[in-house]
Amino acid sequence: MSKILEIFNTMEYGPAPEAPDAVKAWLDEHGRKFGLFINNEWVTPKGAKFYSSINPSNGELLAETTQAGQKEVDAAVGAAREAFKTWSKTPGVTRARYLYAIARNLQKHSRLLAVLESMDNGKPIRESRDIDVPLLARHFYYYAGWAQLMETELRDYQPVGVVGQIIPWNFPLLMLAWKIAPAIAMGNTVVLKPASYTRLTALLFAEIVAEAGLPAGVVNVITGSSSAGSMIVEHPDVDKIAFTGSTDVGRTLRKQTAGSGKKLSLELGGKSPFVVFDDADLDGAVEGVVDAIWFNQGQVCCAGSRLIVQENVAGKFIQKLKARMEHMRVGDPLDKAIDMGAIVDQSQWDTIDGWVKTGIAEGGECFQPNIALPEKGLFYKPTLITGLDPAAATVQEEIFGPVLVSLTFRTPSEAIELANNTRYGLAASVWSDNINLALDVASKIKAGSVWVNCTNQFDGASGFGGYRESGYGREGGREGLFEYLRPTWMDRPRPEFVLDEKKKWGEHVPTLPTQPTVARANGHSLPPIDRTPKMYIGGKQVRPDGAYTSSVLSAKGKLIGQVGDGNRKDIRDAVEAAHAAHVAKPGWAMRHGYNRSQILYFIAENLDARNAEFVKRIVEMTGRTQKSAQAEVDASVERLFTYAAWADKYGGSVQETTLRGITVAVNEPVGVIGIACPDEMPLLGFVSLMAPAIARGNTVVMIPSQKYPLSAMDFYQVLDTSDVPGGVVNIVTGDRDHLVKTLVQHEDVDSLWYFGSAEGSYHVENESAANMKRTWTGYGLPRDWLDREQGEGHEFLHEATQVKNIWVPTGE
């Protein structure tokens, strides 16, 4: 009786432990030793090395798992390749049945999965049971639907092939679902490598999938260290790499796959802002912070780890937050009544602690509540560091632990500036009771997911992924499908090139005067009136900075014009102009689609008015027939019409997530795009790339065909008469790779499209790793620009946009 009274008076939670017995029985059944899961069978290589999987909450050895080597990776890729032959041909409706069966089977084993996840990773059972595992099943149900619909809704696409998938340890099951479900739904087969700290649930998952009857080889699970991951990445028979993990490893993978023709999607780190305005429900926002940063011990890529509070309520808010922190419960992950479990590994614990020490050294004031931690196990208190400078390393770098830093702001524009003051762009939370303000801020924060008055919302129906150094590609939703698809007309690119080690890529000696093979024949003895096109930057014709010129010869070797030989400075000026046109108020991106479409129609109209002149120019430059040149000009006009049409029809969609409210997927422009055009079709190639980019609100720096630049130079006169604001389209002529090198290294260029050589494509992809720019390269392979699918398919719009999902709860 006195005990009940005591509990009533203190209102303390008692322990509510989840039993580990079923997990232990499963581990025992496997003799606490696991092989690799290849072709629906357990494979233990001869002389295999093992790795100990440890429960981080108590240090207990859970099981030994295999360290795969090259032979095993080859076997898994081989199994996936073999299975691809039939799985890719299996009708979508049949694949849907399999995904549905997997989802059902996952639900049947949900408790086992949740308990094992908590034991292996250290996360609270409340989270693995109520978030990770339900979302795991949800993704398979969601993508079962897309498998069903693929043949009707995605008929211009085919699967990519064998996909290598590498995942981190913070959401082992969820990350696996994000990757495997869309991949196999679209007819791909998979080799998955879980992170070393958390290998066990992927192995249990493999068994559950096999039990559901998935054909052998469709899903293979390889355990191993980072070197096994690297072997998957390097494997010539892998067609796509899907990676989730740190930005540094993402960078390595970008370099490793450069020039290979493998598709690559990268879901990387973050340092997401959590913005609180003075009119927000402060108590609600405090609960939001708890979910944002202490969910999964803060080991969340999109954790709201930078609190940005309006100055006039900051004191009050921090006080409330500290009071709430005093009531947080840290303890046994299997206790249903705890808020935070264990940190995944000692090394991660040390990293977190190191960051807290750095924060203090940087002048921050560190607060940790006076709460008890279990004596044994890797536990860390929820931590708040205030008083840091926005440039402090602790504010800028991802800590990946339960550590929140806080800053203050006065005005909405200051809040946006602080929120965007990061190299990352994964997610953000905005708290305000003023819907206009909240949505305005949401639209201006550069991040793939923005949660309004909520945080850490996920669902199969909504894409997730980053801007900037948080990576590229989306997982989830319809947008997540495109990572696992290739247009039907396109084979896996297998570019062939030999790297010229002696010549530094992009090096260029300014061009000297050219001796035409045929003397000028202009019909009389006077020299012709000179018309040397200049660069086109910021809406003005400007002379090349270096004052060098290169000659353009006709197909017959006759001098037909001269163009500026651009250099680094010209590119920098062009990027500056493009950047200014993008961010100016109202910038190009902020114009409504109707206005952009009108301008594109106007360009088409003015191009058509000079149709004959452009035909003549193409014939003169390329030596092609009049008919062929005419087809190119007509197609260019038509293409402008296509993108005038798309300018107001690709804004995004409403996602049907499980949120009670609205989730809107907005197709935002990427920003400043550098575009190196192909030589095949000097006008059509230029227009086909410029038009989708500007239709969707990007500004561009165009490098026209190096061989045939004159059509593009004639084109700027068309732009000049078509109301295109200065800086939206900038044109720099010269040596393609020399100019591209500066573009790809430029911090203010958000994406690079390159349709030059295979070797150039390699360099572009390789150099892009520096700031994780998006790239789109042609690998020097032929593309029929006249063909509608190849010259104006969905791919172009996809490359011209990035999806931001804004989540707005409604109702109670």
- Residue placing its CB nearer to ligand NAP in the complex, 475 or 570: 475
Assess contact for 126 and 61: CB atoms under 8 A.
no
Position among 55, 121, 230, 456 found at the interface with ligand NAP (CB under 6 A): 230
Find the shortest distance in angstroms from Cβ 53 to ligand NAP.
12
Find the shortest distance in angstroms from Cβ 67 to ligand NAP.
9
- C-alpha 662/C-alpha 655 separation (Å) is 8
φ/ψ (deg, to 5) at 760: -60, -40
Instruction: State which H helix or E strand residue 540 sits in.
Output: strand 540-542
Residues 419-438 that bind ligand NAP (CB under 6 A): 426
Assess contact for 564 and 549: CB atoms under 8 A.
yes
Find the shortest distance in angstroms from Cβ 322 to ligand NAP.
26
Stretch that binds ligand NAP, among 154-162, 268-276, 478-486, 603-611 (CB under 6 A): 268-276
Position among 20, 187, 245, 261 found at the interface with ligand NAP (CB under 6 A): 245
- Residue placing its CB nearer to ligand NAP in the complex, 226 or 598: 226
- Residue placing its CB nearer to ligand NAP in the complex, 331 or 448: 448
Position among 225, 351, 396, 514 found at the interface with ligand NAP (CB under 6 A): 225
What residue number has its CB nearest to ligand NAP? 229
How many other C-beta atoms are found inside a 10 Å radius of the C-beta of residue 781? 16
> Burial, 515: exposed, middle or buried (Cβ in 10 Å; 0-12, 13-18, 19+)?
exposed
Give the 3-state secondary structure of residue 196. coil
- C-alpha 656/C-alpha 663 separation (Å) is 7
Single out the catalytic residue among 18, 72, 301, 576: 301
Find the shortest distance in angstroms from Cβ 169 to ligand NAP.
5
- Residue placing its CB nearer to ligand NAP in the complex, 166 or 563: 166
Position among 270, 288, 304, 704 found at the interface with ligand NAP (CB under 6 A): 270
Position among 122, 159, 187, 229 found at the interface with ligand NAP (CB under 6 A): 229
Position among 206, 268, 384, 559 found at the interface with ligand NAP (CB under 6 A): 268
Strands 549-553 and 559-564: antiparallel
Strands 729-731 and 699-703: parallel
Binding footprint of ligand NAP, residue count (CB under 6 A): 29
Stretch that binds ligand NAP, among 154-162, 266-274, 500-508, 721-729 (CB under 6 A): 266-274
Find the shortest distance in angstroms from Cβ 46 to ligand NAP.
22
Position among 55, 244, 422, 802 found at the interface with ligand NAP (CB under 6 A): 244
- C-alpha 183/C-alpha 263 separation (Å) is 13
Find the shortest distance in angstroms from Cβ 529 to ligand NAP.
58
Q: Identity (one letter) of the amino acid at 228?
A: A
Strands 672-676 and 751-754: parallel
Beta-carbon contacts of 350 under 8 Å, excluding residues fewer than 6 positions away, are none
Task: For residue 267, indicate whether it is catalytic.
Answer: yes
Task: For residue 789, indicate whether it is catalytic.
Answer: no
- Residue placing its CB nearer to ligand NAP in the complex, 230 or 453: 230
Find the shortest distance in angstroms from Cβ 347 to ligand NAP.
10
Task: Name the CA dihedral angle for 369, 371, 373, 379, rounded to a multiple of 10 degrees.
Answer: -20
- C-alpha 124/C-alpha 38 separation (Å) is 31
- Residue placing its CB nearer to ligand NAP in the complex, 303 or 581: 303
Order the strands of the 365-367 sheet from edge to edge: 365-367, 383-386, 403-409, 306-310, 273-276, 427-431, 449-452, 801-809, 661-669, 652-655
Find the shortest distance in angstroms from Cβ 66 to ligand NAP.
12
User: Interface mask (CB under 6 A) for ligand NAP, residues 467-496, using x and -?
Assistant: ---xx-------------------------
Residues 602-641 that bind ligand NAP (CB under 6 A): none
- C-alpha 214/C-alpha 179 separation (Å) is 16
User: Interface mask (CB under 6 A) for ligand NAP, residues 21-60, using x and -?
Assistant: ----------------------------------------
Q: Map tokens 């006080």 to a residue.
A: 319
- C-alpha 571/C-alpha 701 separation (Å) is 8
> Burial, 197: exposed, middle or buried (Cβ in 10 Å; 0-12, 13-18, 19+)?
buried
Find the shortest distance in angstroms from Cβ 259 to ligand NAP.
17
Residues 292-331 that bind ligand NAP (CB under 6 A): 301
- Residue placing its CB nearer to ligand NAP in the complex, 200 or 581: 200
Single out the catalytic residue among 18, 72, 207, 267: 267
φ/ψ (deg, to 5) at 579: -65, -45
Residues 153-212 that bind ligand NAP (CB under 6 A): 166-170, 193, 195-196
The CA–CA distances, whole Å, from 432 to 429, 435, 445 equal 10, 7, 15
- Residue placing its CB nearer to ligand NAP in the complex, 318 or 403: 403
- Residue placing its CB nearer to ligand NAP in the complex, 252 or 511: 252
Stretch that binds ligand NAP, among 243-251, 519-527, 541-549, 753-761 (CB under 6 A): 243-251
Residues 378-407 that bind ligand NAP (CB under 6 A): 398, 400
Find the shortest distance in angstroms from Cβ 797 to ligand NAP.
23
Find the shortest distance in angstroms from Cβ 171 to ligand NAP.
6
Find the shortest distance in angstroms from Cβ 744 to ligand NAP.
22
Give the 3-state secondary structure of residue 367. strand
Beta-carbon contacts of 449 under 8 Å, excluding residues fewer than 6 positions away, are 302, 426, 427, 428, 457, 462, 464, 804, 805, 806, 807
Length, in residues, of the chain: 812
Q: Does 226 bind ligand NAP (CB under 6 A)?
A: yes
> Burial, 632: exposed, middle or buried (Cβ in 10 Å; 0-12, 13-18, 19+)?
buried
- Residue placing its CB nearer to ligand NAP in the complex, 245 or 564: 245
Give the 3-state secondary structure of residue 185. helix
Position among 269, 364, 727, 791 found at the interface with ligand NAP (CB under 6 A): 269
- Residue placing its CB nearer to ligand NAP in the complex, 168 or 412: 168
How many other C-beta atoms are found inside a 10 Å radius of the C-beta of residue 327? 10
The CA–CA distances, whole Å, from 30 to 60, 63, 120, 221, 317 equal 17, 9, 16, 16, 51
Assess contact for 757 and 606: CB atoms under 8 A.
no
Find the shortest distance in angstroms from Cβ 170 to ligand NAP.
5
- C-alpha 509/C-alpha 679 separation (Å) is 21
- Residue placing its CB nearer to ligand NAP in the complex, 300 or 629: 300
Beta-carbon contacts of 727 under 8 Å, excluding residues fewer than 6 positions away, are 537, 538, 539, 577, 578, 580, 581, 582, 584, 588, 699
Beta-carbon contacts of 9 under 8 Å, excluding residues fewer than 6 positions away, are none
Assess contact for 736 and 676: CB atoms under 8 A.
yes
Stretch that binds ligand NAP, among 7-15, 146-154, 464-472, 793-801 (CB under 6 A): 464-472
- Residue placing its CB nearer to ligand NAP in the complex, 166 or 607: 166
Which residue ranges make up the site for ligand NAP (CB under 6 A)? 166-170, 193, 195-196, 225-226, 229-230, 233, 244-246, 249, 252, 267-270, 301, 398, 400, 426, 466, 470-471
Q: Which residues are catalytic?
A: 267, 301
